[in-house]
Structure 1
């Protein structure tokens, strides 16, 4: 059944330009996924670039993200016209017009004739009057196009779905027909020919989109957007409450000062004015800080809410293909948003304004020089500023380590593990299996793979990459369905550990070599280390951390070494873990301990391996945004699931 008019009106906000507050006219969307009328955006860009004197780009009117146009040679007046159209919104507008009996014949409209439409072509995505309908059916190459009665759509007796035919983002004149699973990229036949002809896993867009609305990827994203919007609301309300409390405190201080003033009015008039100025200055400074924080998280909320609205709209109103397109747009941006939220919440402080009366106030006539002093106290607001579900009240630096479960995954051999969603995925060098466990230690599913799987890394929410030692291969596995997706041969590149970095690029490590390869197996660059670089990790996709000698570990940001940590109690470093505060954990294989250091290379503590009840630590990894982590053994095949209190 078609969606009712009321259901369509539920998405009126999605169809309204936030600049002119009217229904979209030629909707264009920005990289941040906010959509505006082309004419509104053009006017805004011209005004913005002149005001800011910025000719390399402009900021989104809603979330203030900078949109770079440095690669666009045209003048700012033409930038809006080069942006992609939001075909999903255009389709929603068409559907609403049909349901409101406002749709006119698109063909006649070109000739400035306003004739009422009676049918809708799902392929052309155009409406036709009675005469144009007959003409459309008369052409042989259009005979297979599906025409739906507009009366049927309005009465709810049609299964019309919007955006069944989608334009390619790279080549707007072409339609999306295929989907590259290797790159998670919808594309037209031209894209497939030029950019994906060597890819092994390419399918039709229809096959790729089957079940996308009810898939774990989509449902997880919907849940995550809901949770993030809820968290952003809590943070904004917290900051607003802090503003109110701070203002109240400020007023109370003023009243206290005024009370003292009335007692000693003749002598303290000047001092009263001085303290008022201090209060006002402190208040202004702090309120500006709170306002900036509210604006920042309001911007995040606007972005997240827009993504949620777009995704819900595509789920309820769009086709499977459209939903797939929106999910592919939002997922990588969601990760960036969460990282930005994490960094901003770390910066937040609980600010209090205190007033301390002068000790000389009793003898003010002879000794008092001021009412007192003001100070602004900034402390971590651990109770209310944490991102719920992502931040727990954890003392990572000295908290006790609690063992939750021990998993005897394999009989022997070095073992590697990683968290994916609500599961733990484990591989062992001595056994040719990938095994998926629930977080209570129970085996859920396994998949047989090639011999000598050495390490495992997260690619996206449902896909992992597995390093195959001795054979120089990377396997890509869908852990939701536990099936092999493809094999990537790395001819001449030794493989032990690996991690996934930005843009589907991988760093593979082995001995004294780090090698960057793309998703097609092409070597991008290589780095020689001082040895023991069997595992490599990344904290924010802009740096990498690796064993750099028998007793050392290095962290590189960009092209510069930020630090090299060396300790006589660290021997043969292996796996590297990073908690959500940025603390780094190094598995000392020979020294039989784990070194916990800060993100700038300062030692926090050395954790003896007896804490975990295994012989030699091999890998250590944390669950995203959690105090839970896993430690694997270098010889027994044991995996220990732990948490820090």
Structure 2
């Protein structure tokens, strides 16, 4: 701690506040803080730039500015210009100045010598040679010089010798005066320079009795001790914090080591997993892709051989051979195009990547977005379809006759749905008149069942001649029994959405389609049991608003075909909801009814385009049929287990029968 003049009588051993060891040649700054000469010199050397620039330093303890005059001396020897703290020196030597005190003049010159005398005027310790030289100087000839033993035997000499009792502004001048205006002691020079305008300056001896009554040296000393106690506690807390910091750094180092081990363990485990699962995926995908490549190569060879044979026959064969082979090749060409559309229009590119798990991600930065378990993903890349025209097959579908329905009721029917019974009878849904009409083989309406609301589509749902009709405005499907010359409603089931189209879905289920409602352009198709339980519902967006829909399934019940009239599109999905294709054509306007034949070809009627589109299972159009007076065809169905197509024409309320050849 720093030693002040108030506790100079403390007999406890003092330590240098810089090195915290015993004082060695204590040097005192004007602020009355003392330090070992070597410690002070080291501090001055560290402040060399400030000394050269400002000619001053700050006390390491109180930060008071201290003037430093180099006077041509290097910074490395400036500590010696500050006086020795004689009182502290006396305290450290049991109130006696150490006999081995060095000569200050020789020490400043870098010479080691023992001080034996002290000049009481200059207040400087000197060796024998410096004492003789001091007496020979004219200016110091009359100075009082006493021996070190005589000086140390009288404590009053030590006190008088101390720098703390002389003027800090004028070196060596005694503090003999007191200024009441400024309430401060001063020397004679201060009176002339700083206090010449002060009215209350008097000798310190005269004012001393009054001043002694005003001060309390014991209180000052006690406060000094409190400050010391506080500083000691602060230093102890500081040292304790240093120890805590060192302990925390060690703990963090150990934590980093543990974390590194855990991360390495995770990465080792992940590496093993990647190698194992990656090789499995690679092997499985390689086998599958090689099988596809082999199949594709076989198809390439078949196509290559076919067109080579045709070229050879055209060059060397007869006209009959060319005709027969061309007919055969036409069918083969359609088969090739179907296979390309189904299997080779999209190329599956399998990739492997790392997927992040929260446990692993928490150990890494947010940039490591691909880390945890290995997964496979597939990206479908479409290939351009061969740019050639499918051969025309206009003779595939031919119109046979027009059927006029004989209805005794004086109503204008609006047939929106049609289905065949196993008995050969037809059942028609009359949308506007809320009727279900049974038509016998002679085309007469024999039985009519009137329902409470509009009905849109109709289908046969089982072998017992039970049909289902949809009521789009009530979101219901009604079941009716058609047997024994009667049509009788059996039950009604509700659906959460508006139900338009209906078709059998096998295994005691039906598929219904319609509009989901709300402001979004969203549509649905749904598998529903005969009891009304929804088993699966697929919703999808479509860029149109509240259009009517029809629905059908292929003979194996693996694909759903659904028309959306205002979107001018036919959608194809598998039973899991994956979209297989969307069929659009400039010649298909507002598609309505949809049906499939026993070869899984799809037939869609265009209400505004007045035609029928025959589409392959792959989504490629096979034929557009516009023969006959088709005007606003509305619904379509196949006669059970035959190639006979019936189409309801909305303009004249007649049936048009076609035959697939």
- Does TM, normalized by the shorter one, top 0.5? no
Structure number with greater CO (CA < 8 Å, separation at least 6) is 1
Please give the TM-score of this superposition, normalised by the length of structure 1. 0.36
Whichever of the two has the greater Rg, that structure is: 2
